[in-house]
Amino acid sequence: MTGFLGQALIYVVPFLFVLTFIVTIHELGHFLVARAFGVKIDRFSIGFGKALLSRTDKRGVEWRLGWIPLGGYVKFSGDLDPSSVPDQKGLAELKSRVIAEHGPGAERDFFHFKPVWQRALIVFAGPAANFLLAAALFTVLFSVIGEQVVAPRVGAVTAGSPAASAGFKPQDLITAVNGRPVREASEVTGIVILSAGDPLRFTVQRGEQTVQLTATPQRQVETNEIAGTVRVARIGLVLAPLRQDFSFRRLNPIEAAGKGVTVIGDTVSSTFRYIGRIFVGKESGDLLNGPLGIAKAAGGVTKQATAVEAAPQVVAFYLALTLVQFAALVSIGMGVVNLLPIPVLDGGHLVFYGYEAVARRPVPARVQEVGYRVGLALLAGLMLFATWNDLQKLSLFKFLGGLA
């Protein structure tokens, strides 16, 4: 029992803490922009299901903490349609009911009767809040630890690997990939991981010479504490920088914010590239994570941070920085997922509002209903796929004959 409780503290508690924090910021984005536009709001809930805690403020907004801590929502007054985009008939019925209950003109305070650009901004504010949160966390992170650049120096080349066939040698310094300059080892790793089966042209500094080498990344199975068991593309290089390959500088808040924005841009770009490669069959989707995978990652970074041999206050500080970085990355992921053009997500609502802005009328109810059902099926399928990935990474299917 003690071991189980210890595992729960390491994996579940950090996951729920980070997820709740990020969801709260996401919903606050919707809430604050809606409040700025004068929208009447019934409820702000963190978590689903019955309320553990509930309080209604002087504006009539119920602030609720649900017992299922895996999401949250903002409920606008009159928001009865599951897709939150009623058609013309639904708007007429809602308007009649609002006027009958609250008097003429009261409908102007309801979300569905706001101009389409205001509704779009309210919906977009949730994902935007996630990106702003990530930017703020990265600003804090880079302000505290500064910027350390580790040059991509080759330490060893695996025999028989694509890198060996390409002619890489120890102490080679990679300066560009496919003509794109690289400064950090992490840049090279990121490019290789998303290029399985695609030849990559490396520009290498070898002593006084500049050499062009071509290697094609191949997938291999790897296991680590954070990601679990995954198949990732590698070319067979071990990057091991020399003393002169390290550089460090402290960043002021403006520089730290700029660095944070750059990291967000690179992360979003890599995410969409990875998703695109899944659709064209170039990636298996192994790196997609569901709740179990995120919880495992949260536990992994927690264990790594607390394994540092140092004074308790140093360990606590290192753990805090690690969770800040983890929360920033998860927040970016939540922002990206919510912008996908699936009707049950914010991105799907934005598609509906785009149609309304052009056609001057809401999307017909039948189209919305079909879109909602298809979107729900797509989202459920994505979650099942991600959860299957999570279970395989945790090696829970080994008894089935090596599926993991």
pLDDT tens figures, 11-47 = 677 778 888 899 999 999 999 999 999 999 999 999 8
How many other C-beta atoms lie within 10 A of the C-beta of residue 209? 7
Query: What is the distance between the alpha carbons of residues 147 and 248, in angstroms, rounded to a whole number?
Result: 6
66-80, 132-146, 179-193: least confidently modelled range: 66-80
- pLDDT at position 403: 38
What does pTM read for this prediction?
Answer: 0.81
Comparing 312 with 88, which gets the higher pLDDT?
Answer: 312
Average pLDDT, the chain: 81
- Overall fold of domain 148-249: Pdz3 Domain (2.30.42)
Average pLDDT over residues 197-212: 92
Answer whether 274's CB lies under 8 Å from 191's CB. Answer: no
Binning pLDDT at 50, 70 and 90, where does residue 398 land?
A: very low
DSSP codes joined into one string, 80-95: -STTS---HHHHHHHH
What region does 147 belong to: left with phi over 0, alpha with psi -120 to 50, or beta? beta
**Dist CA 375 CA 167 (whole Å):** 48
Taking 70 as the threshold, does the pLDDT of residue 204 lie above it?
yes
Integer distance in angstroms from the first to the last C-alpha of the chain? 27
CATH 2.30.42.10 domain locations along the chain: 148-249
Which residues neighbour 206 within 8 Å (Cβ) at sequence distance 6 or greater?
169, 171, 172, 173
What is the secondary structure of 138-161 as a DSSP string?
HHHHHHHH-EEEE--BEEEE-TTS
Least confident window among 32-36, 43-47, 143-147, 196-200: 143-147
Write out pLDDT tens, residues 332-359. 989 998 998 888 889 988 999 999 899 9
Cβ–Cβ contacts within 10 Å for residue 94, how many? 20
| The pLDDT value given to residue 344 | 81
Between residues 101 and 143, the one the model is more confident about: 143
Distance of CA 232 to the CA centre of its chain: 19
Q: Is 27 a catalytic residue?
A: yes
Marked catalytic residue, from 27, 107, 184, 283? 27
Q: How many helices (H) and strands (E) does the chain have?
A: 11, 12
Dump the DSSP string for 194-231.
Answer: T-TTS-EEEEEEETTEEEEEEE--EEEEEEETTTEEEE
Least confident of 13-17, 277-281, 343-347, 397-401: 397-401
Mean pLDDT of 135-150: 88
